Structure 1
Amino acid sequence: MPSRSSDDTESGADDHSGERVTVLGLIADPDMPETIAEYLAETLPEELDGAWRVEVDADPVTATLKGTAEILDRTAHKCDSRGWTYALCITDLPVRSEEGPVVADIDHDRGVAVVSVPGMGGLQTRKRVHQVIRQVLDELRSDHGRDPGRVRRQRRHGLSGRMIGVLAPIRRTAVETEGSHLDVRYVTPGRSGTLRLLSGMVRTNRPWRLVFGLSRALAAAVATSAFGLSSSTIWMVGDQLGIGFKVLATATAIAVLVTWLIAAHDLWEKRGDPRSDPQLARLYNASTVLTLIIGVVVLLAILFVVNFVLAWLILPASLLTGMLGTETGAGTYLAVAWAFTTLGGIAGALGSSLETDRAVRQAAYGYRESRRRAEHEEQDSDGA
């Protein structure tokens, strides 16, 4: 595919005033990348010099591709076919390299790049993507995109802030890959970069959405908790156990529910899968476990609040005092609500087996990738 010369780098359509418009195409994976792309389409034109138009194309092009070289080729092809000046692929696919997790790969000659959302980490993801996109556009518009000595551009747009530099620095490297147009790469090296990638994968999984996918588990937990309201034995257990045993019991309930979800819905990425990279499979599994833990903790927190309110409204203080032999206060109701919640959490594991696979499997990276691949292949066959 031909390279872009300096004469056509800023090519684009003319607006009504006759001013040349630079067209930026954002090719986004479904879900979170698409949401970010739509946000960028609204904010970027006002921040960039000159007249810009941003077009968003929601297309899971990464589902059937391996490596950023193939993604850049597909992005460049779509850029030319759509008549865009530049094209950026925003993906939630975790990308790794020998230097560390990849934040962005840039093809300066063809005016395209791929940006990996998980590489930004789990905090302030939209802001970080925005900063990286601005940096990538600076690279693409620069005549020095392949000059390894021009590293001062990395210090713009907040990519080298003090906290980022200490916790997970983003480094610019020049890349020379035989048979590839890739020439600039931004990475987060070291163990901190891997942890940042993992937190970004968990953030991309949107663990809070898992709560809505566990409605049957929540129903089973609430039903079991309601039974506990009528059991004086459970009241006494909640009041008598020490804090250490309570923490251990809560951790056990979380572990049981997470393990049951993984087993019942086949969420574990198997290393024997021929399409699976062993190191990537470990990242997938770690992100799935963390996502489920966060989702289950949120579920139990909701259940705890419900149980506390029910106990406060239904159980008179005089009744608890008579049964427990101690003065009843807010701490007593908290202890009783904890007992109901722990019992309900374990029962919720049984209810989780009744959930639809699709509702729960959204927490697994491998499932989303497989689903997108199947949908992409189905669209290709329909088009053919």
Structure 2
Amino acid sequence: MVRLGLISDPDFPEEIAQYLARVLPDQLPEQLNDDREWSVEVLRDPVAAGRRSGGEILRAAREQSLHREWDYAICVTDLPLRFDNHPVLADVGVEACVGLMSLPALGGVQPYRRARQVVIQILDEILGATEESRELPTQQRRRGLHSLLTEVLGPIRREVPNREEIGVRYRATRKRGRLRLLSGMVRSNTPWRLVFGMSGALAASLAISAFGLTSSTVWQIGDALGAWRRGVIVLGVLALMCTWLILSHKLWDKRNQTVDREQAVLYNVSTAATLGVGVSCLYLSLLVFNIIAALLLIEPELLASKLGHPVGFAHYLGLAWASATMGVAAGALGSGLENDATVRQAAYGYREAQRRRIEQEREKQREQQESGGG
């Protein structure tokens, strides 16, 4: 029995690791041309917290692997790793039988499928450095970079760093890799959960939207404005709510001892994009709710009498737009009453600091136990 350990950060990386634990035992023998039986275990442990390089994370993964008596260990993290301004997809410690996968570098599309492909490639690299693997025909064992990763993830590079702890590294190209990295960071933030987490903003938005549906003044405003003016107002309201969330909950990261300038930019851009997606989901939800409510509650004759002309679906859409826009504007004020922890989950810097504190507390406990035992 071959034991593979997946050491995952909390939240989205843990979801990926649990998925891999379900599918890999049946797929690894075929994918790696290895007839041994595999078992996959998941350990939730923020080993990447406070560590800025792949080598440091691989050493921590090696310690866990030895402690758990695993044959191989792979760290699954949502920490965006970079080397020489290039996003890093994976680092492989072939001699130590450990690997590291950075989920954001995989992009925001099909993260489960891509993560499975990368883990298989990491194991293929490790097996390629063992005497047992060398006994297998090369054409049977190795799937190769181009057949496995390049076709899935686009332009990436396989490197062999001149370092003891990192035997192989996979990195993305600079321009396309950065765009994929940002999309992956937004995906890791799970922005759609932000809508349901902000109960105060959601309640305020629904209340004001309901009021707008009963106001003939709101009906007339929605009917009078043209499409381009509606679009500008929507963008302004969404920007207002995102800005208010960032300022009121102090989500903007600054360069410090643990975060360099480029990483701070990545954190801030991904936070703004996450909030933008989350607030947009809130707006679209309100819009759909208002359209259905308006069609059910407001008779065409009543709406036509207030607007002074015959009405159709487009006029109901204008009414729903006006009510939803008012609701989101009110939700921006209601978001200031939210629990900081609820909103800050959308910020990479906050989650990283939170995990770093957990790791530091564990280090202190270990030191106290060792000093007490001594």
Compute the displacement of 1:76 (Å): 1.2
Taking the TM superposition and a 5 Å limit, the aligned residue runs for 1:23-102 are: 23-47=3-27, 48=29, 49=34, 50-98=36-84, 100-102=86-88
Compute the displacement of 1:154 (Å): 0.7
Taking the TM superposition and a 5 Å limit, the aligned residue runs for 1:239-258 are: 239-258=223-242
Q: For the Cα contact (< 8 Å) 1:25–1:56, is it kept in 2?
A: yes
2:147 paired residue number: 156
1:202 paired residue number: 186
Question: How many positions carry a matched residue from both structures?
Answer: 352
2:328 paired residue number: 345
User: Partner of 1:327: helix, strand, or coil?
Assistant: coil
Q: Select the residue among 125, 149, 158 that pairs with 2:111.
A: 125
Compute the displacement of 1:215 (Å): 1.4
Q: For the Cα contact (< 8 Å) 2:95–2:129, is it kept in 1?
A: no
Compute the displacement of 1:25 (Å): 1.2
Q: Select the residue among 299, 305, 314 that pairs with 1:331.
A: 314
Compute the displacement of 1:144 (Å): 8.4
User: In the alignment, is residue 190 of structure 1 matched against residue 174 of structure 2?
Assistant: yes
User: In the alignment, is residue 115 of structure 1 matched against residue 101 of structure 2?
Assistant: yes
Larger deviation, residues 200-209 vs 315-324: 315-324
2:280 paired residue number: 297
RMSD: 1.8
Compute the displacement of 1:306 (Å): 1.5
CA distance in 2, matches of 1:56, 1:316: 57
1:311-364 superposed Cα distances (whole Å, 9 cap, x missing partner): 222222111111111111111111101001111111110000011011111100
What are the ranges of 5 or more consecutive residues in structure 1 without an aligned counterpart? 1-20
CA distance in 2, matches of 1:41, 1:311: 47
CA distance in 2, matches of 1:375, 1:125: 27
1:12 paired residue number: none
CA distance in 2, matches of 1:53, 1:292: 39
Q: What TM-score does the superposition give when structure 2 sets the normalisation length? A: 0.90
User: Partner of 2:343: helix, strand, or coil?
Assistant: helix
CA distance in 2, matches of 1:139, 1:156: 14
Q: For the Cα contact (< 8 Å) 2:80–2:185, is it kept in 1?
A: yes
User: Partner of 2:165: helix, strand, or coil?
Assistant: coil
Letter in 2 for 1:154: L
Q: For the Cα contact (< 8 Å) 1:72–1:112, is it kept in 2?
A: yes
Q: What TM-score does the superposition give when structure 1 sets the normalisation length? A: 0.88
Compute the displacement of 1:231 (Å): 2.2
CA distance in 2, matches of 1:202, 1:133: 22
Larger deviation, residues 131-140 vs 328-337: 328-337
Q: For the Cα contact (< 8 Å) 2:106–2:153, is it kept in 1?
A: no
User: In the alignment, is residue 282 of structure 1 matched against residue 282 of structure 2?
Assistant: no
Compute the displacement of 1:36 (Å): 1.2
CA distance in 1, matches of 2:10, 2:238: 30
Q: For the Cα contact (< 8 Å) 1:27–1:87, is it kept in 2?
A: yes
User: In the alignment, is residue 138 of structure 1 matched against residue 124 of structure 2?
Assistant: yes
User: Partner of 1:87: helix, strand, or coil?
Assistant: strand
Q: For the Cα contact (< 8 Å) 1:23–1:53, is it kept in 2?
A: yes
CA distance in 2, matches of 1:274, 1:199: 26
CA distance in 2, matches of 1:72, 1:379: 18
Q: Select the residue among 202, 216, 229 that pairs with 2:213.
A: 229
Q: For the Cα contact (< 8 Å) 1:99–1:187, is it kept in 2?
A: no
Letter in 2 for 1:139: E
Letter in 2 for 1:53: S
Compute the displacement of 1:382 (Å): 4.0
Compute the displacement of 1:64 (Å): 2.6
Letter in 2 for 1:27: I
User: In the alignment, is residue 269 of structure 1 matched against residue 253 of structure 2?
Assistant: yes
What are the ranges of 5 or more consecutive residues in structure 2 without an aligned counterpart? 132-138, 369-374
CA distance in 2, matches of 1:82, 1:374: 24
Compute the displacement of 1:51 (Å): 1.4
User: In the alignment, is residue 380 of structure 1 matched against residue 363 of structure 2?
Assistant: yes
Hey, which of these two has a bigger chunk of helix by percent?
2
CA distance in 2, matches of 1:270, 1:263: 13
Compute the displacement of 1:263 (Å): 0.6
Q: Select the residue among 286, 297, 310 that pairs with 1:314.
A: 297
Compute the displacement of 1:244 (Å): 0.3
User: Partner of 2:310: helix, strand, or coil?
Assistant: coil
Letter in 1 for 2:262: Q
